[in-house]
Amino acid sequence: MTATLGIRPLDASFGAELTGLRIAGDVPEADFQAFLDALHRHHVLLIRDVPNDPAAQVAFSRRMGPLEHHAAASAVHPTHPEIFCVGNYAADGITANFARGVEQWHADSSFREVPSAASLFYGAICPPEGGETWFLDAVGAYEALPEATRARIAGLKGVHCLYTLSEWNRRHTPGRAPMDEARRRAFPPVAHPLVRSHPVSGLKSLFLCPAVISHIEGMSVEDSAALIEELMEHATQERFIYRHSWRVGDLVVWDNRSTLHTASLFDHEKHQRLMFRTTVAGSARAA
């Protein structure tokens, strides 16, 4: 760490809280490099008490690389289109993306040909309970697999597909419209390895997104689902998971190339929730 930054591990096998980091585009290079090193080492970073400043979040995120524009254009921030708004909040020109149904473990934008490198998620309005984000140590889960399983899945590729995710969402959130043809064409299915290597650390991890993967290349849909379920049963053991309870002002940054995450439900009739996500594009196909 630098003279100004501090770090302490979260209560999990991975993840850390960073202290002393200002979220802004002009963060000193030494601090920014220390932040990146910490992200690659710990996979998930928590920064507390960050002011609600969408422009600063975008500027800081941009230091990490070009930003994705979310596929669901209706939920983008009115003045900062790089921000995807999540929650049940609908005011001030914001209509956040709200899913009533349960989510599944995933890495963000795995359905893209080049999946996202990292995501930054900011708690602007947080319910007092529920609405947690759960993270999964996909590196630790891979490393703990039996040798025979690692050999069995080496070289296999999952076909990730936005349409598959859209249909999954429709089954779990009634009333959603089917994905239109234009978006279907814009995001054709793409095959990514089930075991990917991190481009910076070289660490191998499980790249499993059960609601997004239509099948594993060369396998039937049924056999694919059975294998993914077997691997997810292993990967979702408590020892690989960190559950984040949000406080207003929390910024959590995660590496999409070494972790999976999912959301938990909250009482959306009683409480409001508004989260701002910026998503750093990947620089190469998953390998």
Question: 108 or 137: whose CB is closer to Fe ion?
Answer: 108
Question: 70 or 198: whose CB is closer to Fe ion?
Answer: 70
DSSP state of 134: E
Candidates 31, 68, 82, 108; binder of Fe ion (CB under 5 A) is 108
H runs (alpha helix) in 12-85: 29-42, 54-63
**Sheet strand arrangement including 157-160:** 190-193, 157-160, 213-216
Question: 25 or 130: whose CB is closer to Fe ion?
Answer: 130
73 Cβ contact list (under 8 Å, min separation 6): none
Which two three-digit tokens encode residue 282? 């990947």
Task: Give the nearest distance from C-beta 103 to Fe ion in angstroms.
Answer: 8
Q: Does 255 bind Fe ion (CB under 5 A)?
A: no
Question: 32 or 98: whose CB is closer to Fe ion?
Answer: 98
- Which H or E element spans position 255? strand 251-255
Question: 198 or 277: whose CB is closer to Fe ion?
Answer: 277
- For 234, counting Cβ atoms within 10 Å of its Cβ (0-12 exposed, 13-18 middle, 19+ buried), the class is middle
Question: 145 or 161: whose CB is closer to Fe ion?
Answer: 161
The whole-angstrom separation of Cα 257 and Cα 199 is 8
Q: Which of 195, 115, 198, 117 is nearest to 160 (CA)?
A: 115
Question: 60 or 105: whose CB is closer to Fe ion?
Answer: 105
Which two three-digit tokens encode residue 263? 């959301």
Binding segment (CB under 5 A) for Fe ion, from list 1-9, 73-81, 105-113, 133-141: 105-113
Task: Give the nearest distance from C-beta 278 to Fe ion in angstroms.
Answer: 12
Task: Give the nearest distance from C-beta 218 to Fe ion in angstroms.
Answer: 28
- Using alpha carbons only, give the angle 287, 221, 212 rounded to the nearest 5 degrees: 50
Task: Give the nearest distance from C-beta 108 to Fe ion in angstroms.
Answer: 5
Binding segment (CB under 5 A) for Fe ion, from list 80-88, 92-100, 102-110, 219-227: 102-110
Q: Give the interface size with Fe ion as a residue count (CB under 5 A).
A: 1
Q: Give 123's strand partners.
A: 275
Binding segment (CB under 5 A) for Fe ion, from list 92-100, 103-111, 157-165, 241-249: 103-111
Task: Give the nearest distance from C-beta 21 to Fe ion in angstroms.
Answer: 22
Task: Give the nearest distance from C-beta 128 to Fe ion in angstroms.
Answer: 22
Burial 123-153 (b: 16+ CB within 10 A, else e): bbbbbeebbbbbbbbbbbbbeebeeeeeeeb
Q: Which residue's CB atom is positioned nearest to Fe ion?
A: 108
Binding segment (CB under 5 A) for Fe ion, from list 12-20, 107-115, 120-128, 135-143: 107-115
Question: What residues line the site for Fe ion (CB under 5 A)?
Answer: 108
